[in-house]
């Protein structure tokens, strides 16, 4: 079987800097031969994304600003992508946000605004971008997102983002059911903790990492590259029978009881 992604085009949403999991995914897809389209939240990230993409050894990448809270921006981004490249074969949604004050203390203190913001950016956006991307996946496709164990179980300080990830996990399943008939698969990777810009916002993140080093079956935190390789699998033909699934790439931590 040919594992190459040569001749395929993938949209990667959510590269902020070189530590972003999205960047690990972009590199893995690039190494497999794919052409990449990058979207970023605001002008602030454009230079960083372009500089990273420049370090890849090809010059046919595309770049679009797309704030996923803005329906018009999503519509315009995918209309522009359709115009510029035509067909796409997959999309990696690597986007989440919550207010810093909602990622510490107790979940019960979450404000309505904070709750809705986290749901909007971290969960609803997957449905919104999938709807827009569907029309460009005329040859079938693979959509993937990034979730975390805090959506399945209580993880201290993860709070409002845990509830948003539970919503994201359910969104993956409903989208998989809707889009399967169009040959489009939808899955999530539940990544173990990785030190990124977003992770910095989670209270006492260091102790979460330490727990992985001490107790996860593989006794080490996962890397961007490991998540990237799982994303490559989900984008490739190798995973063609898998949809609506949440794959844990977490050094085995999620199998543990207390």
Instruction: Out of 130, 198, 239, 243, name the contact with ligand NAD by CB under 6 A.
Output: 198
Residue 95, marked binder = yes
Residue 102, marked binder = no
Token readout for 47 is 């230079």
Is 148 assigned a catalytic role? yes
Find out whether 69 and 42 touch, Cβ atoms under 8 Å: no
Instruction: Out of 79, 87, 170, 197, name the contact with ligand NAD by CB under 6 A.
Output: 197
Q: What is the DSSP letter of 203?
A: T
Toward ligand NAD, which CB reaches closer, 7 or 207? 207
Candidate segments 18-26, 79-87, 129-137, 238-246, binder of ligand NAD by CB under 6 A: 18-26
Q: Which residues of 187-207 are buried (b: 16+ CB within 10 A; e: fewer)?
A: bbbbbbbbebebbebbbebee
The Cα–Cα gap between 231 and 237 comes to 12
Candidate segments 19-27, 53-61, 80-88, 151-159, binder of ligand NAD by CB under 6 A: 19-27
Is 232 assigned a catalytic role? no
Toward ligand NAD, which CB reaches closer, 97 or 107? 97
CA dihedral over 138, 142, 146, 149, signed as positive or negative: positive
What three-state secondary structure class fits 143? strand
The Cα–Cα gap between 173 and 161 comes to 19
Instruction: Out of 194, 212, 231, 234, name the contact with ligand NAD by CB under 6 A.
Output: 194
* Residue of 10, 40, 64, 158 marked active site: 158
The Cα–Cα gap between 223 and 241 comes to 26
Neighbours of 54 (CB within 10 A): 10
Size of residue set near ligand NAD by CB under 6 A: 26
Toward ligand NAD, which CB reaches closer, 14 or 228? 14
Which among 33, 38, 36 has a CA at the least distance from the CA of 5?
33
The Cα–Cα gap between 57 and 231 comes to 20
Neighbours of 81 (CB within 10 A): 23
Characterize the bridge pairing of strands 62-65 and 184-191: unpaired
- Within residues 93-132, the interface with ligand NAD by CB under 6 A covers 94-97, 121
**Residue 199 binds ligand NAD, judged by CB under 6 A:** yes
- Within residues 27-66, the interface with ligand NAD by CB under 6 A covers 41, 45
- Within residues 203-242, the interface with ligand NAD by CB under 6 A covers none
Toward ligand NAD, which CB reaches closer, 16 or 176? 16
Q: Which residues of the chain form contacts with ligand NAD (CB under 6 A)?
A: 14-16, 20-22, 41, 45, 67-69, 94-97, 121, 146-148, 191, 193-194, 196-199
Binding site members? 14, 20-21, 67-68, 95, 98, 165, 194-198
Binding site members for NAD(+)? 14, 20-21, 67-68, 95, 165, 194-198
Catalytic residues: 148, 158
């Amino acid at each position: 079987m040919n594992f190459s992604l040569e001749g395929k085009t993938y949209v990667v949403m959510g590269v902020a800097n070189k530590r972003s999991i999205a960047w690990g995914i972009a590199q893995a897809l690039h190494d497999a031969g794919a052409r990449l389209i990058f979207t970023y939240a605001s002008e602030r990230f454009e230079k960083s994304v372009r500089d990273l993409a420049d370090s890849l050894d090809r010059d046919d990448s595309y770049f679009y600003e797309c704030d996923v809270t803005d329906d018009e921006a999503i519509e315009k981004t995918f209309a522009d992508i359709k115009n510029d490249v035509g067909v796409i074969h997959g999309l990696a949604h690597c986007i989440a946000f919550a207010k810093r004050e909602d990622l510490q203390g107790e979940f019960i203190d979450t404000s309505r605004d904070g709750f809705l913001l986290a749901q909007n950016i971290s969960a609803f956006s997957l449905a919104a971008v999938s709807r827009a991307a569907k029309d460009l996946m005329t040859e079938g496709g693979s959509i993937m997102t990034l979730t975390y164990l805090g959506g399945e179980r209580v993880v201290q300080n993860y709070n409002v983002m845990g509830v948003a990830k539970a919503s994201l996990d359910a969104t993956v399943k409903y989208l998989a059911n809707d889009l399967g008939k169009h040959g489009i698969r939808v899955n999530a990777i539940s990544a173990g903790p990785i030190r990124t810009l977003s992770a910095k916002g989670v209270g006492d993140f260091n102790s979460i990492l330490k727990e992985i080093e001490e107790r996860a079956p593989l006794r080490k935190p996962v890397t961007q590259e490991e998540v990237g390789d799982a994303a490559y699998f989900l984008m490739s033909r190798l995973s063609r029978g898998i949809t609506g699934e949440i794959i844990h790439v977490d050094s085995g931590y999620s199998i543990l009881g207390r």
